Amino acid sequence: MSSLLLFTHSASGDVVLWLRRRAPDSRRAAAFRRQARYGANCWTIFDGGTAQFFLSVLTGVVNPLSERSAGTGSHLFVNRREV
């Protein structure tokens, strides 16, 4: 069995994988940035679970992907009835 498990990808070709060397509740995420500058590290290892990873990406704490996931400023989430 492979120690990497793909769980998401971006429109730019970036991939995010689980590192499966730990127990399922303590797996880390590894992101591969496809469009990195020459000589830059393409890999980001995130110490945290899936929920923490996505929250950190959406809030701008980490930026492991080629494209920005969230713009600047605050965001307001509404349901479909409030649109």
Q: How big is the CA angle at 53 (ends 33 and 25), to the nearest 5 degrees?
A: 120
Tokens in use for 21?
């060397």
Q: What is the pTM of this model?
A: 0.65
pLDDT at 71: 59
Q: Looking at the DSSP assignment, which residues form a beta bridge with residue 19?
A: 4, 28
Tokens in use for 55?
């929250």
- 22-56, pLDDT tens digit by residue? 777 777 888 888 888 888 888 888 887 778 888 88
Domain boundary assignment for the chain: 4-82
